[in-house]
């Protein structure tokens, strides 16, 4: 009862914030971490689509659950890595260079969510294409020619 009252109070009267933060950005950014996670999403989606369904078989259920869990986890990692690049690395001057920067990241992170919700090979390929686009934008801002590659 008391907890409910306090909880309502907290919602109506937000407390001042105290920062448990990190304000010393290490400055080390690389879109390859998003690419590696996205590749895992592609791989897990493919494995799920190729998996022969054997309902009731514990080994099958276990494998299915593992594939789904890894796909979910890696899609979230891809999203986190993209958001770090978007919010921490890219600056307003980059927006002048790439006017579609916000749209690119918005769509890429939306694709991460789609890949979690679905088992859709098309969307995983679109996610890879979006990560590749981010890769090209990122290295262009550094005036470095880093070719796109995939591990798998």
Residues that bind other proteins (CB under 8 A): 2-3, 6-7, 10, 14-24
Q: How far is the CB of 92 from other proteins (least distance, A)?
A: 22
C-beta of residue 125 within 8 angstroms of C-beta of residue 115: no
DSSP assignments along 105-146, one per residue: HHHHHHHHHHHHH---HHHHHHHHHHHHHHHHHHHHHTT---
Query: Which CB, 17 or 87, lies closer to other proteins?
Result: 17
Radius of gyration of the chain (CA): 20
CB of 26 to other proteins, least distance (A): 10
The nearer residue to other proteins, 19 or 143, going by C-beta atoms, is 19
Helices 101-117, 58-84: crossing angle, 10 deg rounding: 170
CB nearer to other proteins: pick between 17 and 152: 17
Nearer Cβ to other proteins (17/143) = 17
Structure tokens at 55: 């309902």
Can you tell me the distance from the alpha carbon of 85 to that of 135, in angstroms, rounded to the nearest whole number?
10
Name the DSSP class of 14: P
Shortest Cβ 127–other proteins spacing (Å): 25
Q: Please, which residue, 22 or 53, has the CB nearer to other proteins?
A: 22
Per the listing, tokens 């969510």 go with: 113
CB of 11 to other proteins, least distance (A): 11
* Minimum distance from residue 138 beta carbon to other proteins (Å): 22
């Amino acid at each position: 009862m008391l907890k409910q009252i306090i909880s309502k109070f907290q919602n109506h009267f937000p407390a001042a914030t105290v920062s448990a933060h990190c304000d010393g950005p290490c400055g080390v950014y690389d879109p390859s971490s998003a690419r590696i996670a996205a590749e895992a999403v592609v791989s897990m989606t493919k494995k799920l689509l190729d998996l022969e369904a054997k309902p009731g078989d514990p080994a099958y259920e276990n494998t299915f659950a593992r594939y789904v869990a890894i796909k979910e986890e890696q899609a979230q990692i891809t999203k986190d890595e993209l958001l770090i690049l978007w919010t921490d690395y890219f600056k307003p001057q980059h927006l002048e260079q790439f006017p579609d920067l916000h749209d690119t990241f918005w769509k890429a992170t939306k694709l991460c969510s789609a890949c979690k919700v679905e088992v859709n090979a098309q969307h995983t390929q679109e996610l890879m294409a979006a990560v590749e686009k981010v890769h090209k934008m990122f290295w262009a801002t550094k005036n470095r020619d880093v070719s796109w590659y995939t591990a798998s």
